[in-house]
Structure 1
């Protein structure tokens, strides 16, 4: 069984040699560009780790693992257009480097390429793979739409938010793991357990991101701490604070949300203090840990050798412990 670094090396090499098309070059260059920007490559790694629970010939399913990363970057390319984001991983976004129309078309081609790679050399599994992928892709789009709708809504419930991050972020982690199980030819029960494992740890990871945006060490976080507070982003923390605040505290929090002109440092400090007074950090950690525990419980249900499950469990635990 290959270790994490060996799997990551295989993924990087496969991405480098993947071809998307030749002409017109303006359609395919943006795909090469966004795929070269790096990132954690978490999703294809999860596919290979799930496959490695049962088989050692991971090279035979590299195309399918990379398909998940191509799809993920397709969603990022289109999300950046919707968000009018200027940067992605420290570089110009595709629509900034080229233009909006090119970014839309290049993204569309990425989706087609993902389908092509998913079913390559997998004739007997094509229906199962496409059925699982289509469900995942639909939910990712639903989650993105909900996220945009939430921007203009005054109130969002905890349940609505958790369902949104489940669809927008977590289901793709679930599919990545489920795909590894499908490719390895394991039972429906094990594939379902892999999917649940991915979805639950995916929700946990998103809650951790919400938490780190406020409480991370600025030097280690890699981006502005308090960015969600400044933009009034409806994170789990803000939703719980609005639910739990009363009287003067609620009025102060709503006042900061309504302010158009403010000192950024002052706003972050004031809202963080409200979170501290309400115990929001602890509430978020409790919910986050609940999802991590549910994920690891699903991992226990998977019928695979314990020493192989230990590798994927340790990897997920290390991710869950980052900067905590």
Structure 2
């Protein structure tokens, strides 16, 4: 029996006749980072709110740590930290005071942990500043500090890197990895930015128009990410013949009337191009390429890169 932190079975949510989450079955393993990816408006936030009992499903069920979530059950939420949409703080209070209040609210009594998490997210020196003086990026860090304050087993993070600059994004990425490896926290993180999720996730789930298109481990995605040599020629048939009979290359694909992708990388690009030219094939361009996660998404969803949607 697989040990899942989150499972959903045929989860469905309808708003005003529009199906926002459509028969979704997700499987988040304990101890992994699961990237939930899709364009804005695909249903990511709605699904995350359903996991946190903030929005009720029309049908289907949610199982967290093996327990079925029911409307009245808020006990399970003590084991979860979350950031959903724009985090809200008391602007007139300091960061430290905001976290202190959160401890009270959650019935969590280890106040020493406040200093620890502020240091962890790099806000210790600004702990006694009022939130009204905080930048957007600082608020985002504070939201993460608050989410991990009660030492949850599961973090549910909806677009947590939205307001950050590239340096802040890198730091947060390291922070999530550290939380995952140091504390064994399972992280369920959504984003519309593929490249971000790709760098930290163990598994990704692709959602589009409320439907889960695919769940796949990143190691399987990497298997798909092959290096190849792309060559544009003036005579495709001759080029195919030369590759097979003169170069001894069988693993190639003719992708258009003048373009070939060669997957057999036993021969150097220079060698391939010399053999083609010697045998009368005109080359317009030749070079090494790599399939990206974006190509993979395009195959699954039939839409251009998620982050451009």
Q: Which has the larger helix fraction?
A: 1
TM-score, structure 1 as length reference: 0.27
Larger radius of gyration: 2
> Whose relative contact order is higher, 1 or 2, with alpha carbons under 8 Å and at least 6 apart?
2
Q: Which has the larger strand fraction?
A: 2
